[in-house]
Structure formats: C-alpha cells, structure tokens
C-alpha cells in the first residue's frame, strides 16, 4: 500500500516501528494539549498572552531544526542554499500562525473537552482540501471511516466525560477548581469553524509543498519556522497592552510550549512521508488521550459514551488502514 492509502513509509520492521512510535507520541501530545491548557488557568482564564506561547513554540521548533542541521542529523543540500524554495513556506507560516493563535483564544469561549471534540470538524475540511488540491479520490470504505471519526467526536460530545459532583459533562478549569460544564459561545463556534477550515487548508498545502520539494525535512522546517517566528513576533509586538512576554507562565505553560513544539516537528514528518489523512487519525485518536488525562488531572469520570467513541475510532482505523 502507498502512504496515502494507509501504508507505512519506509521498508522493514525497524522503520515501521519508528513510524508507529512517532504517531503514538503525536497522538499523546495532541490529547494532552487541552487538559494542560486547563491546568494553566488562573481564575478561569489563561494568565499569559497567547501570542507569547505561540512565539515561544515557533522559536523552539526553529532552534531544534537548526540544531539538527548543525550536528549533521540531516545533511545540508549540495551547492548553493536553495533560498528561492523558502518563499512558498511564508503562506504555510501565515496559516499555521493564525491557527496556533486561534487554538489558545478558543479556550476563552468553550471548555477544553468541547474544543477537543468540535475541533474534529477539521476532518471534513481536511478531506475536502485533500481531494481538491491533491486530487486523491477516497474510496467508499475510506469515506465511511472518516464519517465514523466524526461520529466518534459527536458521541464523545454527548457525554464522554462527567464530573462526579455534577451531572453536566466537561472538565473543570483546573484540578482544584470547580466543575466546568460543556459550553460554547456563538463567537466561539464561529472561530471554531474558521479554525477547522484553516487547519485543513494549512495541512494539505504544507503536504503538497513538502512532497514537491526535494529538500531535507529539517531545512524545509527551518524555512517554515523562520517565517513563523517573524510572523508571530510581529503579532506579539502589535498585540497591544497586556501581560509581559513571560508573565503568567508556569511549569504547565512551559510543558504546553514544549509539547506543541515537538508535536509540530512530528507532524511535519507526517506531511513529508505520510499524508494529511494520517494526521486526521492522529487528531481523532487523541480524544482517547484527552479523556484519560482529563479524568486523571481534572477529576472527571469516563462514561459509556467515551467507550463507544473509542470503539468507533478503532473501527474507523480498521476500515481505513485495514487490508482491502
């Protein structure tokens, strides 16, 4: 099978094992994002500037890519540096910059579990852009698998988590805070739809770009995150008055930044060697991680709806990646 059809890149069991481990790590980091942000809350709000967190994340990714090239983990291309091939990554950086800032702003208008569930609407937008831009046709079996992923998200939203002291599902803003029921404001819903559209477009565009260029992944990432740092530096500087650059940061916030940076690098490898559809399954499977961490860190109970959603996700994975 090809990568786009669900196969694993590379030959042999060692490389397949590394690929599987990478996907599992990415799934864990995606699922941990919303609970970790909830643990950062002070009096129900994110205490730091979202632009500071995004800028630090982009800077961390840039430094890791530069280090990879400097120590020779990935070879620098022969001849003159292909700087002209860097320009298309400006659009990727713009899309990712908008998306990364929206992720944190969305937390102001909904609880973490609602965000984690409804953000799976990006399944539909990514599949649409995947078919239109990359001209890949999905089979009926693959289409059914993606519908099952969306059904799993809806099932989880119906009550995958529940506070033991409250009949309303949804995590509290922190382990020591009171229960936070599932909620979303009209503005939050509008921003979420925009987030899903940008997410789908950015994913497919970056996949197309990385596969067309015959450059080392670390160099492509260097281009992408250089633009990302410049863009988010401008957004932070023009953001108006607010907390200082590192004001409000805690150990949980530092963990959010580090996990997002590492996950961004893992996802770039998926774009280079896998597909945007693989990324969809990573995001959907992260619901399981999100629920388990919410139960452990935010004192919520798993319900029957959670286990049904997990079953649907497993069935979707089997339908899409199983032998035909």
Tell me how far apart the alpha carbons of residues 224 and 156 are, in angstroms, rounded to a whole number. 34
On average, the pLDDT of the chain sits at 81
Mean pLDDT of 239-261: 85
CA distances from 248 to 6, 47, 162, 197 (A): 42, 5, 29, 31
What single string gives the DSSP state of each residue in 190-217? HHHHHHHHHHHHHHHHHHHHHHHS-S-H
Helical axes 122-134 vs 276-297, angle rounded to 10°: 170
Radius of gyration of the chain (CA): 19
Instruction: Name the nearest CA neighbour of 206 among 128, 147, 126, 146.
Output: 126
Name the band, by pLDDT with cuts 50, 70 and 90, for residue 181: low
Return the pLDDT at 7: 47
Query: Residue 124 above 50 pLDDT?
Result: yes
Query: Residue 224 above 50 pLDDT?
Result: yes
Instruction: Name the nearest CA neighbour of 279 among 95, 6, 91.
Output: 6
Name the band, by pLDDT with cuts 50, 70 and 90, for residue 101: confident
Write out pLDDT tens, residues 22-50.
999 999 998 888 888 888 888 878 888 87
Number of C-beta neighbours around residue 212 at 10 A: 10
pTM recorded for the entire structure:
0.77
Phi, psi of 79 (to 5 degrees): 85, -165
211 sits in the region (left: phi over 0; alpha: psi -120 to 50; else beta) called alpha
Mean pLDDT of 153-174: 57
The residue ranges of every structural domain in the chain are 82-161+181-235+256-323
């Amino acid at each position: 099978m090809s990568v786009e059809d669900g196969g694993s890149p590379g030959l042999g069991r060692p490389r397949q094992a590394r690929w599987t481990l990478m996907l599992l790590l990415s799934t864990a980091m995606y699922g941990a994002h919303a609970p970790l942000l909830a643990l950062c809350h002070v009096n129900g709000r994110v205490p730091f500037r979202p632009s500071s967190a995004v800028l630090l994340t982009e800077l961390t990714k840039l430094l890791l890519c530069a280090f990879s090239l400097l120590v020779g983990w990935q070879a620098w291309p022969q001849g003159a540096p292909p700087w002209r091939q860097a320009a298309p990554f400006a659009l990727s950086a713009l899309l990712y910059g908008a998306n990364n800032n929206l992720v944190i702003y969305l937390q102001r208008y909904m609880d973490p579990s609602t965000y984690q569930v409804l953000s799976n609407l990006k399944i539909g937008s990514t599949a649409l852009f995947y078919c239109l831009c990359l001209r890949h046709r999905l089979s009926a079996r693959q289409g059914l698998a993606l519908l099952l992923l969306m059904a799993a998200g809806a099932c989880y939203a119906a009550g995958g988590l529940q506070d033991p002291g409250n009949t309303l599902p949804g995590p509290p803003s922190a382990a020591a805070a009171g229960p936070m029921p599932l909620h979303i404001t009209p503005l939050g819903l509008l921003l979420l739809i925009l987030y899903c559209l940008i997410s789908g477009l950015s994913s497919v565009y970056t996949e197309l770009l990385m596969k067309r260029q015959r450059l080392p992944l670390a160099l492509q990432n260097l281009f992408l995150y250089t633009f990302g740092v410049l863009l988010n530096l401008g957004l932070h500087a023009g953001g108006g008055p607010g907390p200082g650059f590192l004001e409000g940061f805690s150990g949980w916030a530092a963990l959010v930044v580090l996990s997002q940076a590492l996950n961004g690098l893992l996802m770039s490898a998926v774009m280079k060697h896998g597909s945007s559809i693989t990324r969809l399954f990573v995001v959907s499977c992260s619901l399981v991680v999100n629920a388990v961490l919410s139960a452990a860190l935010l004192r919520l109970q798993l319900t029957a709806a959670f286990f049904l959603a997990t079953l649907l996700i497993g069935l979707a994975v089997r339908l899409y990646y199983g032998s035909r």
